[in-house]
Chains A and B, each alone.
Chain A
Amino acid sequence: MAADDQQLVKACLRGNPRAQRQLYEQHKLPLFRLCLRYARDHQEAEDFLHDAFLVIFRDLGQFRGTGPLGGWMRRLTINVALQQLRKQRRLLFPETDLEQAADIAAVEEDLPPLHDLAQVIAHIQALPAGYRAVFNLFVVEGFSHQHIADQLGISVGASKSQLSKAKAMLRGILKSKTAVS
């Protein structure tokens, strides 16, 4: 952890409002973009970010400083987003056994090339919550299906299935958009 971050964390732990504001300003953009990927719209992303910063300030004392502060905050934000989705009961995963997941993986196709980021984010937001969560965790965060399964309390097969369906849906949306344009 950088010395600046260390001082900032200490000041935040003392309850210094200026330091808290500084920490927020430093990290609000990357964390909000992360929230945009997990939320269904701008408003929900703001709710995620709001809750995430409350958790960050609450748990800041547990940050050990072994890694970058931004990474720790990012991870907490992902946890908060998943927790919120779980609370809203929008993370519903149909159980899929491993064999079915293997079949899905075998027929899986690649994503189309990414051109317009804003459009892609909007399409990701349009995905069902379960697809969106697994897609983000696997594709962007780089978690394994096993880790996702542990994190979401689902089977590995369900995780693979959700990812496959998310990709298929994205491909469909992007193809239709390309055809229209």
Chain B
Amino acid sequence: MEKDRHTEDWAKRLREWEQNPGAEPWERPAADLWDKVAADLPAPRRRRRWRLGGLLLVGVLGVAVWLFLAAEPVTNEPVADRSVPTTKELPVGQRPAAVVAASAATDLVAAAADKNSKTAEMPQEDLPLTFTTNPSSNNPGSRPPQTNELVIAGTQQTPRNPSVATTALRSDLPDPKQSKQENRRPDPAPVSPAVKADEPVAHEPVTAVTETLLNDSASVNTHFDPTGTTDPIGIADSTTQLLSFPQAALTTSSAGGEAQQKLPAAEGTVRRPAIAAALPTPGISEPHSLAAATPGDWPVFVPPARIRSGWSIDAFLMADLQPTQQTNTPTWRLQQQQHRGGGLQLNKQLGTRLSVQLGGQYQQNTYRAESRFIRLFDPAQEQNNGATNTSTFNLTTALVSSSGSSDEEVKLDRDPTRPIPLDRRLLITLNDEFKFTTYSFPIQLSTPLWQSYPFRISAFVGGELDISYRTRVRKSIQVSTPGFTIRRLENATPVSNRIRQDNRFHVQAGARVDVSLAAQWSLHLQYQWQPAAPRLQDQLATVQTPLRLGLSYAW
């Protein structure tokens, strides 16, 4: 349809009016419109990128610090190897109050019950003095300091009077090897015989030790009144509350020799809580978690795969559970064909109730797109190229996003000897394949909901950083009218592979089932819900619910 004279004039006048520099008030936007635009403009991309990167970096560093410094790894190491020093290694008067309480509680109970008959039988000077030194913190090449040795500024002296005795605080630490060996002894007799203060002790200078921390003898003596004369009942009550079963059991059985020999003991009294007798004997490996007070408070079962260093790695494949996505308009159609994905994820268990996951994953959605264009054939617009006549049609596909489009030019050749009527409808169909690829970096926190070996169900929440790309592959071009051949298709403005994403970080939540297969291997199935997932086209669904199946290895 050709434009008539007045229509052309309207078009010309209206276009000129647009470019006219002068403007009446009704032709001008409000003066404050720029302020509104500026307020809605996003921050500069570079700054946003830096801010996002900075936040991510801080987050990752924070998690790393948390993992490596703050979190105590879950272990199945025997309690005996991790416990506080046993009584035979430390003199009662030199031990911290809690340790003293733990080790001597049973005797205190006995002493409290029999305090009138057995008081002040043993003066403090008669208490055994055993000083242990952590060999690793001293000169490793020299002989480990022997018991009853006092280390002061690189020399050794034997304290003659324990009330003024000073010792390095590190002597409160046990010799791990020694305590381990001793704890495993079925014989409760002490391995290192306690040496009395007035017994002669061989002296050797220790030159490598340069640091000496002195204990105030008064403060030492106030920790505990071995005679039980000050307030034995009160102490006994308070220290009994401090008891924990394995330690009490250890002190009363393996190290009880010393304490029982040196502290006043009441004949015929119960020397330890009845339940302590039922506890495992020292030296037998038991999970640390068994330190709970009663069986009812014991933590839930932890699968073997989760109780080593707390680290595990998952390798997984993903599938989308949503129905096939498609969107249609009169001129184009988009249909999802395939979804695939996979990735790796590193997990760190923090205790038995919490774990953190960091990973990287890849997802690719394939869509088939069909764009249809109807054009009317006009021989007057054809160009003659000798043997063929060529028609040129401009096509605009608004397929990729609502604001983005692709301008293309298709050239159709025909044999001039075959006549085609004017205004013959030509249906041109472009078949494309879009691949929408997203690289995601999720970080999640999960907690177990229910577990019973070999199963474990957990829930997680988190978020992920998404980076998306798209590619278009032209599969075919079809023309409905016979007699035409497609000569050339040119992209005037090709589809950009870069995806505009105003928000790259998306939250997610889900549940996961783990099935332990072997000591270190487990299989997992994870369902995930993601409300604002990246997508190829605005009309496509924004929610993604991928299901993933994977294998985990723990160490």
Contacts and interface: CB of A to CB of B under 8 A. Distances in A.
B37 interface: yes
B500 A58 contact: yes
A117 B17 contact: yes
A21 interface: yes
B387 interface: no
A118 B41 contact: no
B68 interface: no
Interface stretch (B43-51, B137-145, B259-267): B43-51
Given A30-B18, A58-B500, A153-B329, A20 B33 contact: no
A59 B500 contact: yes
Interface string A41-69: 01001100110011101110010100000
Interface string A106-134: 00101111100110100000000000000
Nearest to A158: B330
Contacts of A62: 404, 496
B11 interface: yes
Nearest to A59: B403
B396 A151 contact: yes
A55 B405 CA distance: 14
B10 A150 contact: no
B34 A112 contact: no
Given A59-B500, A155-B330, A114 B6 contact: yes
Given A15-B45, A83-B402, A29 B23 contact: yes
A9 interface: no
A17 B38 contact: yes
Contacts of A146: 373-376
Contacts of A33: 17-18, 27
A130 to B, nearest CB: 15
Given A54-B37, A58-B42, A153 B330 contact: yes
A36 to B, nearest CB: 7
Nearest to B1: A105
A42 B26 contact: yes
Nearest to B395: A150
B6 A113 contact: yes
A45 B1 CA distance: 30
B3 A15 contact: no
Given A46-B30, A49-B33, A110-B6, A57 B41 contact: yes
A153 B328 CA distance: 10
Nearest to B27: A33
B398 interface: yes
Contacts of A30: 18-19
B4 A15 contact: no
A169 interface: no
Nearest to A49: B29
Contacts of A54: 37, 40-41
B10 A114 contact: yes
A118 B38 contact: no
Contact of A53 (B11, B37, B45): B37
A140 B46 CA distance: 39
Interface residues of B, number: 54
B297 interface: no
B34 A21 contact: yes
A140 B9 contact: no
Interface residues of A, number: 58
Interface string A144-181: 01110111011110001000000100000000000000
B26 A45 contact: no
Interface string B42-77: 111111000000000000000000000000000000
A10 interface: no
Given A42-B26, A49-B33, A59-B500, A112 B6 contact: yes
A14 interface: yes
A91 interface: no
A160 B3 CA distance: 12
Contact of A139 (B7, B394, B405): B7
Contacts of A111: 4, 6-7, 10
A110 B7 contact: yes
A154 B330 contact: yes
A54 B19 CA distance: 22
Contacts of A147: 394, 396
Contact of B34 (A24, A34, A76, A105): A24
A142 B11 CA distance: 8
B537 to A, nearest CB: 14
B398 A14 contact: no
B36 A15 contact: no
A79 B13 CA distance: 22
Contacts of A55: 403
Given A29-B21, A29-B27, A45-B29, A50 B40 contact: yes
A28 B30 CA distance: 11
B488 interface: no
A76 to B, nearest CB: 7
Nearest to A56: B37
Given A114-B9, A114-B10, A146-B374, A14 B33 contact: no
Given A37-B14, A59-B500, A139-B11, A110 B4 contact: yes
B403 A83 contact: yes
Listed residue (B3, B10, B41, B403) with the most chain A CB atoms within 10 angstroms of its CB: B10
B24 interface: yes
Given A15-B43, A33-B17, A145 B1 contact: yes
Contacts of B3: 139
B44 A118 contact: no
Given A142-B11, A146-B375, 18 more contacts: A13-B45, A17-B38, A28-B29, A29-B21, A37-B14, A50-B36, A58-B42, A83-B403, A110-B6, A110-B7, A111-B4, A114-B6, A118-B24, A118-B26, A140-B10, A150-B373, A153-B330, A153-B331
10 contacts: A15-B44, A32-B27, A59-B403, A79-B403, A110-B4, A117-B14, A139-B11, A146-B375, A150-B373, A150-B396
Q: Nearest 3 pairs between A and B by C-beta?
A: A15-B44, A110-B4, A111-B6
